[in-house]
Structures are given as structure tokens and as C-alpha cells.
Chains A and B, each alone.
Chain A
């Protein structure tokens, strides 16, 4: 547990400079339609998210479909442009940087997608698609590219024969290994992992999670781990941000997550997950209703309509994300 403690200590030490700092990040996607394709409204995907990720930490982002977690992941590495807010990487603001200035950061920040089949070029062999990234970013001198690529393939636990094969020749778990190798090709410091194990069978999921644990330790990676599965996040991450309708509603350390969780939504997420013990049968936590539309987010707390602890104030005023003890932040009027 030393890794957890040190990461938590880092997180609480105000003096330490985070590797990634995000302030007030907002992303609205225009919705077009009708005559002349006019903008008819905006999807409020991310609504003022602030977070800090320290070197060597794994920070989880959980939430249900449409909560903005994937948008957040793409925003922080500037795959999409924020509507407002700032992103600072290793002390330098990267929000306004142009294409050329961003290049060194692109090399340091990489992403692993949920479905590697749709993110890997089907016309390139494994060696081909890894070499492309290595050459583009001039990671190693041209003469060493071959050896470097072989090293990458070995590092993610694939056999040497994989070099000449195409992505479609692999199983789901192996493909995700290629996706990981592709992300590691540029020798990054920071990785956004967007649901990297969600599409995999449980036995394969464990293999890929173990691989990521090894790589994280060996290469000293810092990871933003996006997932809908709290069990996986609890296992793999140091801290977790819980998102709902584009807002961070709670941030807390993963150690003793079940005891610490305070926000009614986090508690509901934990209680809705069926426990894999037939002797411990208990009713699941049932939330009434559905997530409100991100086109017209409610005025107060976005969770108010489904919250079992709702009070009048929740419907009129959005609660701020307040510091509690131990690096925990909660946005709720009722706790």
C-alpha cells in the first residue's frame, strides 16, 4: 500500500506541482439542424471541471454514459478544443498553443481507446503502425527504429511474430495490447486510458490491467483512467473523480472508497453494483428516473431530480465542490 500512501501524500502536499492541472474546463458542443443548419442549442458535455494529476499517480474518472468523462479525457490532451478553461502541463499552459508548439506535448501525452480495432489503422501491420509514430516524433535515430519497435512489442507481452500481422488478425485482448504499444511508442509520461478494458472478457480484462500496472511501475507513467466500472477503478487508481452530467460531484482517494464516499450519487453507484457474493444478498440501490438531458441542464444540482437526500436548495443552486478532509472534495448541499 506504500504506493497509495505516497500518492495520497503527494496529492495533499500543496507545494508539489502537478503534472497536469485543469482549471474551469468547459466544453459545449453545438447542436445543428433545421433551416440553414442553424445552431439550435448546445450539449453541455463538460461544465467547469478542475482537477490536478500528480506525477506517478493514477486518477480515475467514473460516471455513466454521457457524463462527459470521455470528452474530458480528449480535452486534457487537446484532441478537442475546450470552450473555456485552461490546461497546464508540467507548468506550461497548453490551452492556446498552436500545432507546432503542441508537438512536444503530443509526444508526452498519449491516449488508449476503448476499442483498439477502430483506433488502429487496419491497413498497417503492427510494426508499421508503431514505426509511423516512432518516426514522426523522432523518438529514436532512424537506425534504431526496428529494434525499438521490437522492444515495444515485447514490452506489451506480444510475440515477435506480431510484427508482420494486421490488427484484424488479433483477439480483443491482444488488440488492446497493440493499442497500448501504440500509446507507448512515443515514450510518453502521461496517458489517458479511455475505458481500456471495458470491451474485454473478464479473464482478458485482468491480463490487460496487470500489464498496465506493470508498465505504470516500470515506466513511471501518470495515468488518467476513464471507466464506468467502479470496481476496476478502485483496484487500479489512487484517486477518483465522479462525474455526473458534465460536473465533478465528488473526488476522493480510492483506498477505503466504500467507507469514504459521501455524495449520494457516488453512494448510489456503489450500491447499484451487484456484489459477487451469493451469501451477501442485498437489495440494490435504486435511483428513480433517468439522467437529465445535457441540452438543458437543470439550474440547481444536476442530480437533484434523482437524489434520495434532495433538499429545496438543491433545485435552485448548484453546490460548489468543497474540500473535505484527506483530499476529498464533495459537491452536495446535503452532506
Chain B
């Protein structure tokens, strides 16, 4: 296997839910690759399918109501296990992989830690299932992990219960649990959204440092475009269950090709921007997944809408440079590539 092979390849991922109001497709035909050691951001607004995508990869969707379509493939190319299609893996295979080869951290560290067990026990639990370490070594490893995530006096804090820790420390414990088996892929679903900005900065820097040290590939799900700009290599933008654009980070920020991406970037207040100026907005709201339009899902909010957009949904097409955009009339790219995007690969 060459080093440029993606560690994770998702193809045609489609996830449907049965609900009281009928069937919905929350994630519709999503494909992407994640290279080793890289960070892919999945961005989009509430209900766009970003969390369902990550839970589908972890196979953590509720079995009774959710269904991954048979054509979906989630290929994990783990150096130790070889390629496995997680979409079709058995429950026992998934138990071996989850927490060991692919780990996940969630938005709310209080609800994802068990309140009745000490944090050390919760780190050791993962080691107990996935390694042959004996009890003494497991405890040593747990203390080491707490040290790695920069929790002060880890020998003492290892016997704390989650409620004795602050929100930032709890998220550090979550990261320690996620990384204790050195997974190849880490999925971070809004890991800093519930945290204050100074604590968010601590966690982001910690994750960036660990990524460098351990070479973990990361899928970072977020709606904070500042976090994307500072910490990610590639971006996939989702809208109403569809991937609508994916591109390297600089290309996306400098030359978004989908009108939604452009509008999303424009609608954030800029530091040092003109005060009290009107922000560019996207009129209207995201369409209901129960009642999706026939054409482009963004059409009724799009400033560049034409008749064809309403009549027919565009496909996700790659342009000459390999960027993918789902739009009949994508925004033009500059004819001369600016130096910024030429430097893209070096980052």
C-alpha cells in the first residue's frame, strides 16, 4: 500500500431514517477520501447531515430507525487490518474497530462520559478491550494519556469523577480516551462548540499538536469557519444531506465555486470589518428533508438561480483541478491562479 492511499474512502454513503412523519434521507450519496495525517473539515448548517455522516462511519446510528443504503461503502484501509468496508462489517468487527482504529469525540463531554465512573476507569476500559496490557500497565498508560492531553497532576486527577472537572478538562479526557489506542482516524464532532473561546483555543492547539505527533487523520465537523481555516487541509461543504462542494482549504476560502459556500463565507462578521454594515445574508431557510425540491436543494435561496436549477438537480462534478462542485452554474475561478493557491500543497 502506498502512503498516498486514503486511510478512509467513503463512497455513495446514503443514510435513511424511518420517522413518525415518513421516511427521510438525511445523507444522500456522499463520497470523500481522507488521507493519512490530514484533516478534513465537514461544514454545514444544522440538519445538513454532517453528524449523521460521522455516526454512519462509526456505525453508531440507531439500528431500529436508521439504515445505511446497500450501495454505500465506507472503506477503512488500516495498516494492521487491511481494507474493511465498515458499512457491511459485522457488529463484532465494529466493536474491535471502534475506539481502537477509529475513535470519536463529541460536542458535549459531560453527556459522553459516564458520570458514575472515575475518568481513569473510563480510559482504562478502552485499553482493556483493545490491548493486552495488564491492570498496572493500563493505569500507567491512562496516566500517560492524561499527561499527553495536558491535565495537571494526572496521578491525582485520574481518580476524579467527571463532575469534578471543568468542561475543558472533560473534553481533554474524551480526547485521551479516543487516542489511547492510537487510532488511524479520529472523528471530532463539534469538539469545541460547547466550550468558551479560551478553552476552545487550548483544545484546538492540543489536537493540532497530537495530530502531528501521532499522525492521526482527522475528520473535524464544525460550523466555525475560523476553526476550519486555521486547522484543516480539506473541506467538504454539505447542504440538506448533499455534499455540494469539496476543495483544498485555500481554494475554498479564496475561490468558493458553489453559491452557498460563497454566501456562507460572506455572512460571517469580519474582524475589523465595517461596523453596523449590513451582512450579506442567505434569504430563506434550508428545505425540509421531508419535502425536498426536485431541482437543486439550494435553488430557492440562491442569488444565481436560473430555470434549470429548479427543474433538475445538478450532479457533483469535478473540474479540471479535481475540485468538486454540485452546481449547474458554478462561480468562475480566476484565470490566473494566485500565489496563495499555488502554495496550497506546501502547507
Chain A residues within 8 Å of B, Cβ to Cβ: 1, 3-4, 64-65, 171-174, 201-207, 209-210, 213, 228, 230-232, 234-238, 254-258, 268-269, 271-279, 281-287, 290
Contact = CB atoms under 8 A, between A and B. Distances in A.
A234 B279 contact: no
Interface string B331-345: 000000000100000
Given A213-B276, A231-B268, A204 B285 contact: yes
B154 to A, nearest CB: 15
Contacts of B279: 206, 209-210, 235
Given A203-B281, A207-B281, A276-B253, A234 B269 contact: yes
Contact of A203 (B198, B231, B273, B282): B282
Nearest to A253: B275
A206 B268 CA distance: 7
Contacts of B201: 271-274, 284-287
Contact of A284 (B46, B166, B196, B205): B205
Nearest to A199: B46
A307 to B, nearest CB: 12
A276 B268 contact: yes
Interface residues of B, number: 49
B241 interface: no
A271 B230 CA distance: 13
- What are the 8 tightest A-B residue pairs by CB atom distance, in nearest-first order? A274-B226, A235-B269, A64-B196, A272-B201, A206-B267, A201-B45, A284-B201, A206-B279
A275 B198 contact: no
A279 B341 CA distance: 9
B278 interface: yes
Contacts of A230: 197
Give the most central of A234, A235, A268: most B CB within 10 Å.
A235
Contact of A287 (B198, B270, B285): B198
B280 A206 contact: yes
Given A272-B198, A273-B226, A274-B230, 12 more contacts: A202-B264, A207-B282, A230-B197, A231-B271, A254-B275, A258-B272, A273-B201, A275-B229, A275-B230, A276-B268, A281-B347, A285-B201
Nearest to A3: B276
A206 B264 CA distance: 10
Contacts of A65: 196
B139 interface: no
A290 B282 contact: no
B310 interface: no
A203 B269 contact: no
Interface in B120-177: 166, 168-169
A231 B196 contact: no
Interface string B252-293: 010000000001110111111111111111110100000000
B40 to A, nearest CB: 14
B84 interface: no
A273 B198 CA distance: 8
A203 B48 CA distance: 13
Give the most central of A206, A209, A237: most B CB within 10 Å.
A206
A282 B169 CA distance: 24
A269 B275 contact: no
Interface string B224-267: 11111111000000000000000001100100000000011101
7 contacts: A206-B279, A213-B276, A274-B227, A276-B268, A286-B205, A290-B168, A290-B199
B306 interface: no
Nearest to B227: A274
Nearest to A211: B281
Contacts of B267: 202-203, 205-206
Contact of B230 (A202, A210, A258, A284): A284
A51 to B, nearest CB: 20
Given A205-B267, A276-B229, A279-B250, A4 B276 contact: yes
Contacts of A256: 272
B229 A277 contact: yes
